[in-house]
Structure 1
Amino acid sequence: MPAETFSDAEQPRDSKLAIKRGLRLKCPRCGEGALFYRYLKVQPECPCCGLDLTPQRADDGPAYLVILVVCHLAGFMMAILWESFRMEPIVMASLMSVFVTVVALALLPSAKGLFVAVQWANRMHGFGRRDA
């Protein structure tokens, strides 16, 4: 039985490697080029390998993922702060507001990089037909 062969367009893509690159805000194909040219603006194409990044459709997915993570962290943190320090509610609300804002803004680019990488690795939204 002959070994299965793939054309360049059908080569399997390493999802784990693409995800690591996306989380580092790098191109999912080469891992060298920057994924963003602004805070959350995806490059039209990779400056190193020329991968067309316009098919990506992250939309609201990264925001939902970040909200899920940050709200779980905030919930546990509120319980721990309340039981440990019994601080005034206004102080706790102020601290939690700052914490939630900073953590959400820090996680959002990596979450969007993750979504772009998963789409590229799985040939979603046009990533499969225009690149190898």
Structure 2
Amino acid sequence: MTMTSSHPTPPRSVGTGIANGFRMRCPACGEGKLFASYLKVNEHCPSCGEELWHHRADDAPPYMVITIVGHIVVPLLLAVEMALHPDLWIHLIIWLPMTLILSLVLLPPVKGALIGYQWAIRMHGFDRGDSEYDPVPPSQRSGAVLLKP
């Protein structure tokens, strides 16, 4: 449990946050859309107003998707090869599109689940009492970038 000044913050359900994120819904309310487009996260939930710009999904969703898709495609490919011994071109027309489609379909839900997890455990500024909390969404920040010497 995180403390904000002297007031304890209520716990957040990790399972609910991940499930709502996987459904590409707001991890807080489960109603509002998490994404404005394919992988662009809304700054606020359209339903409850929860701040969503704090997520730091970065490269984790693609790595997770690669692992998931690999665990689906490779055993199927090996099973088909051992049972039927098809020509190489048949493997190519089956497994390359399947790999691409599975990857594209799984990427948004996996990213959503990761954001739901970050929200539930109050990572990266999802906790207003945390030093990482930034009250200004990216769209309202100035374009100036300060470089450290």
**Which deviations, in whole Å up to 9, do the C-alpha atoms of 1:35-92 show, x marking residues without a partner?**
0010111001001111111110101100000000101211101111101221101210
- What does residue 55 of structure 1 align with? 54
- What does residue 41 of structure 1 align with? 40
Unaligned runs of 5+ in 2: 1-5, 134-149
Amino acid at match of 1:78: L
**SS of corresponding position for 1:128:** coil
- The count of corresponding residues between Structure 1 and Structure 2 is 124
Structure 1 residues 1-132: aligned runs within 5 Å: 7=7, 10-129=9-128
TM-score, normalised with respect to structure 1? 0.89
Query: Which has the larger displacement, 20-29 or 77-86?
Result: 77-86
Amino acid at match of 1:110: P
TM-score, normalised with respect to structure 2? 0.80
Unaligned runs of 5+ in 1: 1-5
In structure 1, how many angstroms separate the alpha carbons of the residues matched to 2:27 and 2:68?
Answer: 23
Give 1:94 shift. 2.4
In structure 1, how many angstroms separate the alpha carbons of the residues matched to 2:78 and 2:85?
Answer: 10
Q: What fraction of aligned residue pairs are identical, expressed as a percent?
A: 38
**Which deviations, in whole Å up to 9, do the C-alpha atoms of 1:1-38 show, x marking residues without a partner?**
xxxxx93x611101111111011100000011000010
Query: Which has the larger displacement, 101-110 or 88-97?
Result: 88-97
Runs of 4+ in 1 over 6 A off after TM superposition: none
Amino acid at match of 1:93: L
